[in-house]
Amino acid sequence: MEQLISRVTYTGRKIRKPYDFTNQIAVIEKYLTKLGLSKNEAKIYLFLARTGEKKAREISEALSLYRTETYQALRSLERNGLVFSVFGRPLKFTAIPLEVALELLIEMRRKKIEEMEKERARIFKIWASLPKLEEAKMKRELFQILEGREQIFLRLDKMISRSKVEIYIHIPGHGFRKLYTAGLIEKLKEASNRGVKVSILTNDSLEASFFLEMIKHLNIEVILVSNHFFTNSSFNFTMPFFLISDKEELLIILRERRVKNGKKVKDMALWTNHEVLVNTFCFLFSIIEKIMDVLGDYEQ
């Protein structure tokens, strides 16, 4: 392990502080592997870049690699232009500077991506030309558990984007901020503008009213419910967030992110196209909507 002993002055006394290079080198090695080098190639390149010209035997011994592994990695590094042979007896190897190597590797990566983009169009063309198999007549009813806010919001984004007729949402007032920061309020605006009926069921709160003010000019139906309507103190139950798209698919937030026993617990949701579950939540939404209409008429 490489160490550098540095002197640090503290309260008038000089103390010795060991400094470990291992973690810093590991960070660079990991980055080089992300750019396409193998672990052995990254280790050998950095060794040569730091120490200068070395024989293959010296590299093998210093890095505890087999000679065959060393020669294979050196040949690959030479092909990529990161290492050069120094003619002489015995043969030695030297590396180009790190900043030049990074530019070269990134450019190679960029060209590979461009080639893959071009190849993608050809693959799609081949795929489109293939005869399609007869689709199964029976609808498959699926379930999927999603973990993490990013995965959940990505699925919500797709559900809203592909909606053609109607979207039903129940969202607690505090949930609007999350939808807004994820860009989903804007997605609901876009859906409304293309003719999708959007209905939102939410509790009557200041936080909800702030965000509802942003969409009041759009053709979005909002049903405000008393804060006590969904909460049952006997069962400690609060109505969860759910979204229904075209009465065909449903997403329910089962758990919101929190800290439990000192560990962060991720958000969790259930997505399904199961007909019974989707219809049940549609029925629940319509019942609450009708109750609110009746109460509204009664109050008037």
Residue 182 domain flag: yes
Residue 121 domain flag: no
Regarding whether 293 and 148 lie in a shared domain, the answer is yes
Task: For residue 244, give its domain range.
Answer: 143-299
The answer to whether the Cα torsion of 249, 194, 173, 157 is positive or negative is positive
Regarding whether 267 and 164 lie in a shared domain, the answer is yes
Regarding whether 62 and 161 lie in a shared domain, the answer is no
To which H or E segment does residue 156 belong?
helix 149-162
| Neighbour-count burial of 101, counting CB atoms closer than 10 A to its CB (0-12 exposed, 13-18 middle, 19+ buried) | buried
Instruction: Count helices and strands (H / E) in the chain.
Output: 10, 14
Regarding whether 156 and 94 lie in a shared domain, the answer is no
Contacts (Cβ under 8 Å, ≥6 apart) of 5: 16, 17, 18, 19
Residue 107 domain flag: no
Regarding whether 80 and 18 lie in a shared domain, the answer is yes
Residues 161-219 pLDDT 10s: 999 999 999 988 888 888 888 888 889 989 999 999 999 988 877 777 788 777 777 77
Report the domain count for the chain: 2
Range ranked top by mean pLDDT from 280-284, 290-294, 296-300: 280-284
SS3 92: strand
Task: Indicate the DSSP class of residue 164.
Answer: S
pLDDT of residue 22: 73
What CATH number does the domain containing 281 carry?
3.30.870.10
Of the residues 80, 99, 118, which one is the last residue of a structural domain?
99
Residue 192 domain flag: yes
Residue 110 domain flag: no
Residues 107-148 pLDDT 10s: 998 988 888 888 888 898 888 888 877 655 566 889 999 998
Average of pLDDT values for 293-298?
A: 60
pLDDT of residue 152: 94
pLDDT of residue 178: 86
